[in-house]
Structure 1
């Protein structure tokens, strides 16, 4: 099961370069349900909480203060990603308050106003990335401005109210952070339509706990009393981090991931496959062993087949010493042809008919590999086929003799010798 860990710096907590960072955090399971949470805890404490529960596949989403990342639009006519990246610094340069060469630009989606862009100081981005990277048992997935995750639903503006600060997000994709006491001034700005905007009611939703509403009642009253603004309060049961995490996990927001380009997690030697490397190594080792075993068995069976072919050809050449055409590939076809010709010649009790019937009975023996023909001799004057045969028991030889006799031939066993390796005898076949 996959888990997502959302971590947001506590207001007033030192930056990554200024001491231990204190974080509010929530852990969501694969269905988006809250599994664990904490407030104002250090990194080691969060890692211990994950480790104690033996969780695997935990992906970290860092939420940095929204006022550290500036939102802007980039009007770029190009469609290919490579050209968009090249033109991006020139398209937003005039909207920035510092040298564009010192700013990390993260590209968002395309809207009617252009491409959405998040701009953050390169040194600050490097520090935040370092602070969220290489957590024990936790893989960094993304870093977002926290205000960009405030859910809008069907409203034009959304405000997430803290005790003394507010996170704001708009339908255009903008975000910002301000002191709660300044909401009254902001409300007056919203109440005045722009030159190209038709005056209409602006829908505003305000999230907050009961204590946050009580602490900022004057600002909320100013919002609600401003003409053109329709303000709806929505109480929160949990804290701000829980609201932002739930909104992002359920795709209620479309924030811009700051981990792009040289600041992507994989650029530091990690990758999305890091957590799976042990499993991949085990699977690779198992695959090597499996392929090695298959190759070994293949080699063994090939050697066995070669030995059987050599044994068959030795027996054939004893019977047909002058035949140079036969090989392991065609000896069966040659013998079948010879037997077919001999069968067409009638009831001649010659070598081929006798060999045919003897071979047929040999092939029908159960466990025939335990009976071996050492030599085959034929005496044309007596019409006898004499086979020097070895078997693991006399019963095997007798079964072979009986099968030949059932074909109407005369078959007898003589010169029987029993030793530690089995039974040797001479099988004489005639008649027909």
Structure 2
């Protein structure tokens, strides 16, 4: 079963340069269904690793959450579609939104939205320290590092706010995130309550998450936010720590955070490949493929031998029927026989004068209104096997009916030299075959 371990450093933060092992974490372990199987507060990394080992868990996917104010959110409007060109243009697209030199910032590219690409910007040095903090854990491999506020669930709300001690995490439906001191929420709510110039009346839907104790402590703040008249506040009590809200939101895809593990900190390198845990399955699949190809090849050789035997038998029968034909072989015998049959069919069977006259007479006897049909002359060509009859009738339909009847008897009958006269029609009926 696949497990995910969400680990979030607890302030005050240890010196990540000299004593990263002293850092404490809040953590929660989710199974593949999203159920929390274990959790802890203010534990050392060694304590978490010991818990994983005691439960015989290996290759747990580690999700590291860093403070939301460590990474700056910004939008990048880039018209390019190929990722290579997008990343080349990224520094120029966000340079004016950053307070420090863009070359000193690590830029992580997120999904594209209506306002452009979501981008997370963090100082190179700080990113290196956070990456080192989450790498090399026993029984777990790092999968991603996210700013914690980026994992807040934003469904039908315009903004989500999570009360987290003295801090507040915020995320918008556009993908923005930020972290601020909880006392600054009053000022921020006033900004939200100001409608844009193009809107006359607009409602801003805000969901506030927090434990029941946190919601009681900040009742006055929440009441002040409601008093603006433009903010619609919905309170969502939490039974557990905010980290579990973030983990559940990420597992259920209620958010679209930006993974900071890109570029120099990409995890798609040898030894960190997400395919590593699937290597045994890949090896079994490769072995099965080799065996399957061997079976298919063996069947191919068997059927090839059978085909050669059948070809030899067919040519033996053909040689008995056509001993003087030396040009035909197993590869073209089918086409040769088809050609001979086609020629024979086109030539058709021949008939003598009496046979053709008999067939013509029978069709004439069965012809409705035959008294109106007259035979002027009859000619027979033995070399062509054709009977030519000059006919006259009160209308052409009777000539056509006579021809149709002969054709239905298996003969080849055609009418030519048709002349329409006031008294009827006359023509030449040519009959062959039989």
SS at match of 1:72: strand
* Matching of residue 248 in structure 1 with residue 250 in structure 2: yes
Contact conserved, 2:155 with 2:173, CA < 8 A, in 1?
Answer: no
Change (3 A) 1:281 1:83: closer
Q: Name the structure 1 match of 2:186.
A: 184
Change (3 A) 1:230 1:48: same
Contact conserved, 1:133 with 1:265, CA < 8 A, in 2?
Answer: no
Contact conserved, 2:155 with 2:254, CA < 8 A, in 1?
Answer: yes
1:82 and 1:249 map into 2 onto residues whose CA distance is 29
Q: 1:99 aligns with which of 91, 101, 106?
A: 101
Q: Name the structure 1 match of 2:45.
A: 43
Contact conserved, 2:159 with 2:170, CA < 8 A, in 1?
Answer: yes
Task: Write the mapping of 1:158-197 to structure 2, written as runs, cut at 5 A.
Answer: 158-197=160-199
SS at match of 1:16: coil
Change (3 A) 1:273 1:222: same
Task: Write the mapping of 1:285-364 to structure 2, written as runs, cut at 5 A.
Answer: none
Q: Name the structure 2 match of 1:148.
A: 150
Superposed CA deviations along residues 312-351 of structure 1, whole A, max 9, x for unmatched, are xxxxxxxxxxxxxxxxxx9xx9xxx9xxxxxxxxxxxxxx
* Matching of residue 33 in structure 1 with residue 35 in structure 2: yes
Superposed CA deviations along residues 298-323 of structure 1, whole A, max 9, x for unmatched, are 9xxxxxxxxxxxxxxxxxxxxxxxxx
Shift of 1:153: 2.0
Change (3 A) 1:270 1:193: same
Contact conserved, 1:129 with 1:263, CA < 8 A, in 2?
Answer: yes
1:75 and 1:35 map into 2 onto residues whose CA distance is 42
Unaligned runs of 5+ in 1: 299-329, 338-432
Superposed CA deviations along residues 86-108 of structure 1, whole A, max 9, x for unmatched, are 00000000000011001111111
1:171 and 1:99 map into 2 onto residues whose CA distance is 29
Superposed CA deviations along residues 380-419 of structure 1, whole A, max 9, x for unmatched, are xxxxxxxxxxxxxxxxxxxxxxxxxxxxxxxxxxxxxxxx
Contact conserved, 1:147 with 1:176, CA < 8 A, in 2?
Answer: yes
Moved more, 197-206 or 266-275: 266-275
Q: Name the structure 2 match of 1:408.
A: none
* Matching of residue 2 in structure 1 with residue 2 in structure 2: yes
Q: Name the structure 1 match of 2:274.
A: 272
Q: 1:229 aligns with which of 228, 231, 234?
A: 231
Contact conserved, 1:180 with 1:219, CA < 8 A, in 2?
Answer: no
1:22 and 1:236 map into 2 onto residues whose CA distance is 22
Q: Name the structure 2 match of 1:12.
A: 12
SS at match of 1:187: helix
* Matching of residue 120 in structure 1 with residue 139 in structure 2: no
SS at match of 1:130: helix
Shift of 1:56: 3.0
Unaligned runs of 5+ in 2: 299-308, 317-434
Contact conserved, 2:161 with 2:171, CA < 8 A, in 1?
Answer: yes
Q: Name the structure 1 match of 2:80.
A: 78
1:104 and 1:261 map into 2 onto residues whose CA distance is 8
Shift of 1:261: 1.5
1:173 and 1:266 map into 2 onto residues whose CA distance is 25
Change (3 A) 1:209 1:187: same
